[in-house]
Amino acid sequence: MFVYEIAIAHRDELIREAAEYRQVRLAKARGARRGFSLKKAPEGSVSGNRGRFTPAA
């Protein structure tokens, strides 16, 4: 019975992952049709964050 429960849990997990994948693809398709990207905020400059991680060369 334990193996059956594991198989059911794995199947449910795969179904959830497939649903999430479909939602992401649908959102991307809708965004492409509207003519804008899903990423709304532009990325900041790298030089502003460089000091926190490594010294500049």
More confident call, 50 vs 6 = 6
Q: Is the pLDDT of residue 8 over 80?
A: yes
> What is the full DSSP assignment across the chain?
-HHHHHHHHHHHHHHHHHHHHHHHHHHHHHHHHHT--S--SPP--HHHHHHHHS---
User: What does the pLDDT read at residue 56?
Assistant: 58
User: What does the pLDDT read at residue 28?
Assistant: 92
Model confidence pLDDT, tens digit, residues 15-50: 999 999 999 999 999 887 766 555 555 555 555 555
User: What does the pLDDT read at residue 31?
Assistant: 84
pTM value is 0.49
